[in-house]
Structure formats: C-alpha cells, structure tokens
Amino acid sequence: MLRTIQVDFRRLILCRRYYYSIAGMTLALLLNGITYTKTIAGHATLGECFSEVSFGGFMLLFYMLCVVGGGLDYCMDVKHHYMRYMVIRSDLTTYALSKTAISAIAGYISMLIGQVFFLGMMALYLLWDRWGAGETMSVAGDASEMWWTILTFSLLGALLSVLGLFVTSLVPNIFVGIASPVLLYYMAITLTNKHWTNPAILPACIYFPNDYALFGGGIRQFGYALLVTLCLLMLLYIGIHRRMKRRGENV
C-alpha cells in the first residue's frame, strides 16, 4: 500500500497541472484582495482582508482550481488506461485508498500554499501602500488566529478534491469533475442554512473560523473540522471504491 501511495505522490509532485492550479488559486485570491483593499483604502490587517476575500467573487474559480490539482487523477488514469496497470500491480482497495488519500493531500496542500502565497503578497502590497502614504500601521493583526483560520479553511480543499474524485468515478469527464464539487458544495450550504440552525453542522460555519468561531475557534475548531472532514472522506472513499470496483469489472 505504501508503495502505491509513494507512486501516486510522486506523480502528483511531477504534475505541472498541480502547480498551475496553485498559481491560479493565488491569483484568484489576489484579485479579491486587491479589490477589497481598494474599497477600504488599504486600512486593514491581513486577517480582516482574508476574512473578506474568502467570500469574494473569484472564490468560485479558487474552489474549482483546488479540484484541478488532485481531484482529476482517476479521470486521467481511465483516459490513459493506467487504472488496469495499477490494479494488477497492487489491488483495487489499495488503488482506491491511495487515490483518495493523495487527492485529499493534494487539495489540502494546494489550498494551504495558495493562501500562504496570497498572504505574503498581500502583506507586501499593504506595506507598500501604507509606506507610500507615510503610515506605519501594522498589517499582521492576530497571527495565531490567522494561521488557525488558514489550516481550518484548507480542510475544505481536501474535501472538494476528494469530492471531485468521487464525481469522476461516476462520470469520468474533466469538466464535470471540476464543476460538480463546487456546485454540490454551494447546494449543501444553501440547503443546510435553510433547514438547519445548529452552526456545528453547517458547512458555512465549520470551515470559516474568522466568521463563525465554533468551540472558541483556534485549535478546537480545527480539530472539530478535521474530524468532520475525515468522516466525510471515509464516506466518499466507500463510494469511490464501489464505483471503481464496478468499472474494474468492465475493464
């Protein structure tokens, strides 16, 4: 199993598509961030900027690019007939588990790196803007809270990426795999916000500590979001394994 995971991870880090998706995610956040800072004349900390940016107009592109990084691997394997080789080399359970794990890792890391790059660039932008205006106001804000926000929000990337893997196990099409996870996520937000009132089970609250501090925020909310994400990933893995098994019988 470890050998299969190592092979899939090596394929991930050598895939140019993954790095293009990270660059695109960073750009999407920057477009939101620069628009926001212009409206408030640059008087914001990084934490405030990130909180507003996470609901900006380019977030749809941000989420879709997160799926591009690791959620399309199975679709590519089917297209290039690589699935047969890997199943013969190991077994279907190992193959499905490896794909799910690597997809989750890819989604988490891509969202995390995209946010870190964005915050670094926004810090330089805000500092330059305030230096030009003769101001010395700090842009950091509460650094600890901001990092826990980033780590928690990145868990959504892991979920979206594996959701893309699940969708492509049903319909091995690149465009369907990119668009469907984001549409399903927004549908889940709309339906749960409409019919449920407990914030601890609302997707719009779990992954956004800046706006909804569950259990006091910080590491507690990260731990809770991690637990919820792992449960959802386990359910998705079961579905992915069943779909791969059906497809494998017809390969």
Sign of CA dihedral 201, 206, 209, 211: negative
Is the pLDDT higher at 210 or at 155?
155
- Are 230 and 162 contacting, i.e. CB atoms less than 8 angstroms apart? no
Render pLDDT for 1-42 as a digit per residue (tens, 0 to 9): 677 888 888 888 888 889 999 999 999 888 887 776 666 545
Nearest to 48 by CA among 111, 138, 130, 155: 138
Say which amino acid occupies 142.
D
Say which amino acid occupies 11.
R
Mean pLDDT on 46-65: 77
Render pLDDT for 77-86 as a digit per residue (tens, 0 to 9): 888 777 777 7
pLDDT exceeds 70 at position 189: yes
Query: Using CA atoms, how far apart are residues 161 and 183, in angstroms rounded to an integer?
Result: 13
Residue 21 makes CB contacts below 8 A (sequence gap 6+) with 65, 66, 68, 69, 110
Render pLDDT for 156-185 as a digit per residue (tens, 0 to 9): 999 999 999 999 988 888 898 899 998 998
What is the structure's pLDDT at 38? 62
Residue with tokens 């196990």: 169
Render pLDDT for 98-155 as a digit per residue (tens, 0 to 9): 999 999 999 999 999 998 998 888 777 766 655 544 444 444 555 677 788 889 989 9
